Amino acid sequence: YIERLAEAVGIPSISSDLENHLGDINNMIEWTKGHIERLGGKTNVVVNPLNSDKITYPPILLGEFHVDKKKKTVCVYGHLDVQPAAKEDGWDTDPFTLVEKDGKLFGRGSTDDKGPALSWLWIVEAHQALGVELPVNIKIMYEGMEEFGSEGLFETIRDEAKPGKFLDDVDFFCISDNYWLGKTKPCLTYGLRGLAYFQVGVTGCEQDLHSGVLGGTVHEAMTDLVRLMGTLVDTNGKILVDGVMDSVKPLTPEEEALYESIEFDIESYKEENKVKSVSDKLLYDNKKDLLMHRWRYPTLSLHGIEGAFSGKGAKTVIPAGVKGKFSLRLVPDQDPKHIEKCVTTHLETEFAKLQSPNKLEIEMIHGAVAWLSDPKHPNYQAAARAIEKVYGSGPDYTREGGSIPITSAIEDATQMNVLLLPIGACDDMAHSQNEKYNVSNLINGIKVLGIYLHELGKIQGPKPSACKC
């Protein structure tokens, strides 16, 4: 398995640079297609629906291991593309050469997401080697653009979910593209926050001006923008925009109880996020409040200012126009369109208070709803039993502060349950230098995924895809 992962890591399938790496992504997809077919599976390479005369995107790879139409069917999703990486970025080794050291496998894509994604093929291979029939039908959906917007995948999902097509008879979905909360205890993820990303621009003139010559005579755009951004959130993280909190679901005793047993250490959290050596302070000093504000409450973060001087040294310039970037992470029942109205009203009101003659522009660049599943669903319970059999104890049930849009897209199109089953540890450094995948996580992950299939096979009752239940 490690040798095959090394082959996959050796293909620099970088989706953010299609000009130079489209061929590599296509090679990665062909490599995977060949592996599925060698195991006796069927494949279909779907042309990306967003291809045009101006740009060509990687295709979507669909695979299938059909056992018996009477058996349940699970569809697993993974991505075969990776983030950019170069040794000069600060890697200790060549990022596209898998290196094993101290029980860790270092290489770009080792944990995000080639290791977990390809594990499903190794599970099929193991069943064949042992002469054991697969307990369920397996369908596979691999893409090559996840790290750069999943271009074309959402359209493909909607099309393949139509009656009689690839996803129509899928009973359960499973995604392994996130991570444990800690380093040692597995978890199942049942919630993700959504996103509303904004840009607020203020323009004061047509070109940058000399602050020594014209400072004190013009209404400066930067001054207006800084004051506007300061009205959005306070230093304790409280959102100051009216209406944002109105639709947040109240905390139930049942949900609150899920936080009690979660394995989480605040001091380690401060160290891992490089806070301890600077301030040694977080917004909350207890596990429950900290995790709730990380997962189940909305947040507003300021990201940066476009158009302002940000280089080294000093530049005495009055920017002609500046754009502030900020976003809100949304939770279940929050509608991005409603959030857009709240934010727009707030900024327009605050700008009017400034009595500035400058021009204000507000734009929501991206909006995505939050996702919440039921940890008591049979799909989740099957995974929980698998984890208990491999690790000797049940998983933590977690939510995440980030967004995985593919999750909601699958559920919306198929009406079937989606399980997020992380395999990697919290310190795997996905997207960063020295990305790694623990050998123990690889081995135990394969065991968990394999047993999960058998637990799905034990579920009684009709096929959920037949009754949409």
Q: Which residues are catalytic?
A: 81, 146
The CB-based long-range contact list for 343-352 (8 Å cut-off, 24+ gap) reads 343/196, 343/198, 343/241, 343/244, 345/242, 345/243, 346/231, 346/232, 346/240, 346/241, 346/242, 347/200, 347/228, 347/231, 350/227, 350/228, 350/231, 351/224, 351/228
Minimal CA–CA distance to 300: which of 249, 252, 231, 371?
Answer: 231
- Spatial separation of the C-alpha atoms in residues 103 and 345, rounded to whole Å: 54
Q: How far is CA 420 from the centre of its chain?
A: 11
Amino acid identity, residue 197? Answer: Y
Dihedral sign computed on CA atoms, order 201, 205, 207, 209: negative
With beta carbons less than 8 A apart as the criterion, state whether 428 and 436 touch. Answer: yes
- Spatial separation of the C-alpha atoms in residues 189 and 377, rounded to whole Å: 12
> Quick one: angle between helices 336-354 and 221-229, nearest 10?
130
With beta carbons less than 8 A apart as the criterion, state whether 259 and 191 touch. Answer: no
> Quick one: angle between helices 115-130 and 18-38, nearest 10?
10
Matching residue, tokens 């996103």: 195
- Spatial separation of the C-alpha atoms in residues 149 and 112, rounded to whole Å: 15
User: CA of 106: how far to CAs of 16, 112, 132, 244, 424, in Å?
Assistant: 21, 11, 32, 42, 13
At residue 7, what are phi and psi to the nearest 5 degrees? -60, -45
